[in-house]
Amino acid sequence: MTKTLSGMGLVRVGVVSPELRVADVPFNVGRTLAAMAEGAAQGCQLLVFPELGLTGYSCGDLFFQPLLVEAARTALPAIASEAGRHGVAVLVGLPVVQDGRLFNCAVLLAAGRIVGVVLKTFLPNTGEFYEERWFSAAEDRTADHLEWEGERVPFGADLLFRAEEMPDCLLGVEICEDLWATEPPSGPMALSGATLLANLSASPETLAKEEYRRALVQSQSARCLAAYLYASAGPGESSTDLVYSGHSLIAENGLILGETPRFDFDTRMAVADVDMHRLAAERLRNNTFAAACGGAFRVVPFHLAERPADSLRRPVSPTPFVPPDDRERARRCREIFALQTTALAKRLRHTGLARAVIGISGGLDSTLALLVTAKAFDKLGLDHRGIVAVTMPGFGTTARTRGNAERLAELLGVSLRVIPIQKAVEVHFADIGHDPGVHDLVFENAQARERTQILMDVANQEAALVIGTGDLSELALGWCTYNADHMSMYGVNAGVPKTLVRYLVEWCEQSEFTGEVSRVLADIGATPVSPELLPPDEQGEIAQHTEKEIGPYLLHDFFLYHVVRLQFPPAKVLFWALQAFGERFTAVELLGWLRIFYRRFFSQQFKRSCLPDGPKVGSVALSPRGDWRMPSDASAALWLRELDRLESELGSP
C-alpha cells in the first residue's frame, strides 16, 4: 500500500528559525540553504523562513544601504536553484525596491524560479517598531509585477498560490504584523480559498508574549479553518534593546501540530503534515464560512513536489476521544460529567418529576448513568431514595456484576429493586414457540426487551423518568436491541463514546467518590464489556465478550471519529489507523474491523433515526435531530467497494 502525501491529502511543511547574523547576507543565505537541505531530507514540500531573514530584521538604517538590499536580491537565484534541486518550495523574506520605494517582502521560490513577491500590508510604527521609517506599505506599490531576471513576477499583497498538483492546497502569505492587526489579511485569503496560510515574522520576545503568540496562531487557524505556518526570527536577530527567541509554530484548525524550542542560536525547524482534505471538508460543512465574502486575489500556480507517505509527521491519537495527558483528561471528564448532570437535572425540572428509574447491570454504561443520576439529584436537592435502581438478573448474569450493581446502589443510598427475568422470558419463549436451548438472537433480544418493559412499567408505577444507559459507540454500531436497551425516556450517555465511559467512571472513582464506593467502581472498571445475555462459563465468569464479536471499541471509536467527524474515506481511515495501531494490529486485521464498522454503521441507522433525547457532549454526535441526518436506507456499497479495492491491494483472500 504505497501512498503519497498528496494521495492522502497531505502537505509536509516546515517552519524554520535559522541561525542568523544581522546584515551578513552571505552567512544568512548559507544557513538558509543548509536548512533547505535538512527540510528536504525530512520530506518537506514547503519551508517558511522568517521576515527579512536574508538580511536580518534588525538592520535599521542599513536598509537604506543599496549594498545590503542588492546582496539579498542577487542571492535569490541561487536559493531558487537549490530549492528546485531539492524539490522544495520556499518562502524567504527580504527587502525589495520598486520605483524608488522599499518594501518588506516574502518571496515564494519553487521549481527553480521566483513564483511571486508578497508585500507586507501593515507596518508597525509604535513602541519598539519603526518600520515606516524604511518601508512602504503594500498599497504604495506602482505596479502589479516586477521585472526580475528577465521575467515578469507577480508583485503585491493580493496574491494566492495554488499547488498545481493539489488544487486544495492554496497558499496565502502575510508578514508578521499582518497577523496582529484587527482584521488580518489571512481572513479574506481564507475566505477566497486559501487553506495554507504562512507568516514570515520577526517577533521580539517580552514577558508572557509566548502564550499570546501561540494563542493567536492557534485561534487564527481555527477562525480561518486553515493551517497556519508561523516562522519567527531567532536569537541571532537580537540587538540593542530587543531579544528574539525563534518561536515558530504550525497550527491546523486550532490544533498545534509543531513548534520550535525558543532561545536557541542554532537553526531550529518544526515539521508537520497538514491535512488539506480535512480543511476542505471542514469548510464544506460550515455554512457560516460559505456565507462570508473573501477578497479580490490573483491566483498564481506553483509546483509542489511529491513525497511518499511512509509515515505521518503529525500526532495521530489512538484514542481521539480521550486526551493522553492525565490533567487534560481529568478536566474533560469533569466537563462531560457536568454536562450530563446538568442536562438530566434540566429534564427533571422541566417534567416536574422527582423520581428516576434506571436499569443497572454492574457494567460501565449503567454505572456511569447511575452516577450521573445521583449527582443530578444532588444538584436539585432531591433524595437519592427517589432513584429506583432495578437489577434484572438473567441467563447470563454473573455474581460479580450483580454483586457490584447491588452494592453500588446500596452505597449511593438509592432504592434497589431486584427483579429476575428468567421465568418471564421462559414463558415468552413458550408463547412464541422458541427452544430456550437455542442461544440465538431471539434468546438474547427477548431478555433485553423484557428488561425494558420492566423499566417502563416501573416508571409508570413510580411516576418516574426512565434513564437510558447506552453510549455513543453502541449507537454507531447499532449494538443495542431495537425497542429494548435502545429505548428510554432520556439517554444520558448518548454523547459519550465507549473508550471515554471507562475513564469517566475512573474519574468518578478518584475525584467524586471515596471509600467503598471507589472500590466498587474500580472493580466495575476492570470488568470485561458484555451484555451478559448468554450463560456464564463453567467457572461462573462472563462468557460473552462484546469486543470478540464486533471488534475492539478502541478501533471502532477511532473509526467513528475519522469517518463521522473528519469525513475521511476508507483508504485514509486505514492509513491513519496503521499509524496509530500498526504495532498492535496488521493492515488486514484493521481492514476487517473497518469493514464491520461500515456495514454496521450504515445498516443500523434506523435505530438512530428514533433515538430518545440525550445531551450532546462532544464534536461527534448521532442524534437525528442534531448532528447526523442520514437516510435509514442509504447504501454502503460505495464504501464497501473501496474496502474491496484496499483488500485487493493488501493481497487478502
H or E, element range at 172: strand 170-175
Q: Which of 51, 259, 282, 462 is catalytic?
A: 51
The rounded radius of gyration (Å) of the Cα atoms in the chain is 30
Alpha carbon dihedral 611, 617, 619, 623, in 10-degree steps, equals 10
- C-alpha–C-alpha distance, residues 297 and 171, integer Å: 12
DSSP string for 421-482: -HHHHHHHHHHHT--TT--SHHHHHHHHHHHHHHHHHHHHHHT-EEEE---HHHHHHT-S-T
The 10 Å Cβ neighbour count of residue 240 is: 7
Positive or negative, the Cα torsion across 280, 282, 287, 292? negative
**Residue 610: CA count within 13 A, CB half-sphere:** 11
Q: Which of 176, 333, 480, 508 is catalytic?
A: 176
The 10 Å Cβ neighbour count of residue 62 is: 15
Q: Are 470 and 347 in contact (CB under 8 A)?
A: no
Q: Edge to edge, what strands does the sheet with 356-359 contain?
A: 415-418, 387-391, 356-359, 465-468, 490-491
Give 322's contacts (C-beta < 8 A, 6+ positions apart): 329, 499, 500, 503
Q: Which of 44, 105, 120, 224 is catalytic?
A: 120
| Residue 51 appears among annotated catalytic residues | yes
Nearest CA among 449, 518, 456, 524 for reference residue 480 = 449
Give 594's contacts (C-beta < 8 A, 6+ positions apart): 555, 559, 570, 573, 574, 577, 643
Q: Which residue reads 513525497 in cell numbers?
A: 307
Q: Beta strands of 470-596 (E only): which ranges?
A: 490-491
Coil, strand, or helix at residue 652?
A: coil
- C-alpha–C-alpha distance, residues 250 and 217, integer Å: 8
| Residue 120 appears among annotated catalytic residues | yes
Residues with catalytic function: 51, 120, 176
